Structure 1
């Protein structure tokens, strides 16, 4: 049923004039709860299977560090987000367990962080609908996710269009104060901040405005096209190293990595992106500085240096690959951990959504 025109205009006026609205003091026990946990981190990752080297260095290493730095940390396998593109149900189930095993093997500790499957916590979808009713279509059209993917597909689904609202709901549902993101996701986090302000001004303070935790880790580039990010969807199999690749596959992919015609190893991302990408990978996997990696490469041509890089990657990933294999052999254990995570996540989410429902007028 359509809203009366007067109501729509009033809502639009409120959105435009939001900064001038007086804040009403409706803060309840849910708000007080947020003061008990002033620092709460939330992040999510789509279940596209086993992560690649770029995921590991760009996000997962940081996730492991954050669980030791903040009192409350939540990591979600965001399967609701994954179905904005068609998915095979059996493959999706397998991908969820692959990712769960990978996160555990990389160092995510369920005793320190709440690890859970997004779709198992129904509060995400309900809060997304409520926030979607406070979001304008022009606001969503200008976000990078829609502009990029809708062009690739000529048109996009409603789910793809409203994807950032669900992202905002994921964050706000837990009254998150900090969100680790890459630079390409900053605009989406700004939407979450805007929606926190809109809700708070309309219904009273409830949501903190989440702050960005920009990752300082280096971005890993494609081994076949160093101008692009490493991606699981890259059609060139030699372009991407997954964290379960065998030592032989890792050595082969690095050996075939695109460099240039200069044999000396130097760090110059602008003019020598391929060689510079290898130096960044070497430095990250060997836990040394880029300067130290250049120093170790002194006297080696790029062919010999690739062997050094391969050794560092193989040595770092070997225990992770072995642990993933062990965990994947126990699907019931992985499902049990996700079930425990669901209970913990709902303990935090349910009171917040109940308060939202009350303030909106549903109960």
Structure 2
């Protein structure tokens, strides 16, 4: 019987940050240690092309992200770790799925709707400068997921729509061509669904508000001290549910630590002290992995070898599965 499959990936558009770590990498690696799980982890470089304005930055991002997963303890003997662009079957599946995906479904994608609204707000044509990569992004994501019979995808709450679209695409295909695709489920940790950045908005490269994952200790502390808080003085009660700082702390804390910090907020902890405790908690979790990361990043050829080996393992599943999909839609040999 096929193991329960868990899949996740990160686009290669920048330096890994704390939001990537708590929202995707950490829960996925923890899941991979379960012997009853088949884990797939990938560098989503095809997705990165949607926003690619620097090929050199993409290469550097690929190196940094791969080194990050390995430094944090990914065991590539058990998990399948690969670069998306090393799996040509994914692009073929994307086209097959595109041909049975309703345009109306893509019209409802949050990223596309946001781009259209921004154009309208500026008096432009609705689709001004909207590339097909953005519009069809959910289909490529569906192919990533459906290719490997994925049961669960750890995501931030803002990505749940993409999982729902993947389910819709799979269900429509299955209805027309037979039950080939597993319907995936989104797995969201309520403490880390969307980690805020320094300014309180979602931590995102596009907002330029991220805290890089592998900052040296002094720079990490400085970055955390810059997290925006309100003007309440020491001794004045503070609302943890209205604090970006608390949400970041909670993402790294266990349940007892979270409750203790909640009480400290109600008791009026000074912002400086709350930030110091947040720094100490995060630094304690990352310090050993930081040393491993610095060693790995200096050995790119070793990382490349790991990715190539992972791609071959992924294709051992993808090749025969795609053959079944091709047969189902009528892409068959005549003799």
Same topology, TM > 0.5: yes
Q: 1:330 Cα shift?
A: 0.5
| 1:66 and 2:31 correspond | yes
Deviations 1:142-190 (A, max 9, x none): 1112112454574310111111011111111111122222222222212
Rounded Cα–Cα distance in structure 2 between residues aligned with 1:180 and 1:293: 26
- Equivalent position of 2:205 in the other structure: 232
CA contact (8 A) 1:58 1:217 kept: no
Between 1:289-298 and 1:326-335, the stretch displaced more is 289-298
- Equivalent position of 2:151 in the other structure: 177
| 1:305 and 2:292 correspond | no
- Equivalent position of 1:20 in the other structure: none
Rounded Cα–Cα distance in structure 2 between residues aligned with 1:183 and 1:285: 18
- Equivalent position of 1:57 in the other structure: 22
| 1:256 and 2:223 correspond | no
- Equivalent position of 1:330 in the other structure: 299
Aligned Cα root-mean-square deviation (Å): 2.1
| 1:292 and 2:267 correspond | no
- Equivalent position of 2:186 in the other structure: 212
Deviations 1:28-59 (A, max 9, x none): xxxxxxxx215111222101233111111122
CA contact (8 A) 2:14 2:205 kept: no
| 1:221 and 2:196 correspond | yes
Between 1:294-303 and 1:185-194, the stretch displaced more is 294-303
Which secondary structure state, in structure 2, belongs to the residue aligned with residue 44 of structure 1? strand
- Equivalent position of 1:282 in the other structure: 249
Rounded Cα–Cα distance in structure 2 between residues aligned with 1:171 and 1:265: 48
- Equivalent position of 2:11 in the other structure: 46
Q: Which TM-score applies when normalising by structure 2?
A: 0.88
Q: 1:96 Cα shift?
A: 0.7
Rounded Cα–Cα distance in structure 2 between residues aligned with 1:296 and 1:268: 10
Which secondary structure state, in structure 1, belongs to the residue aligned with residue 205 of structure 2? coil
Which secondary structure state, in structure 2, belongs to the residue aligned with residue 43 of structure 1? strand
Deviations 1:186-221 (A, max 9, x none): 222122112222222212221121122223332321
Rounded Cα–Cα distance in structure 2 between residues aligned with 1:98 and 1:138: 37
**Unpaired segments of 5 or more residues in structure 2?**
120-127
5 Å matches for 1:133-144?
133-144=99-110
Deviations 1:279-317 (A, max 9, x none): 333344354432122456757422233222222222222
Count of aligned pairs between the two proteins: 319
Which secondary structure state, in structure 1, belongs to the residue aligned with residue 195 of structure 2? coil
**Unpaired segments of 5 or more residues in structure 1?**
1-35
- Equivalent position of 2:330 in the other structure: 361
Which secondary structure state, in structure 1, belongs to the residue aligned with residue 229 of structure 2? coil
CA contact (8 A) 1:59 1:215 kept: no
Q: Which TM-score applies when normalising by structure 1?
A: 0.82
Rounded Cα–Cα distance in structure 1 between residues aligned with 2:8 and 2:41: 5
Between 1:312-321 and 1:154-163, the stretch displaced more is 312-321
- Equivalent position of 1:86 in the other structure: 52
- Equivalent position of 2:125 in the other structure: none
Which secondary structure state, in structure 1, belongs to the residue aligned with residue 78 of structure 2? coil
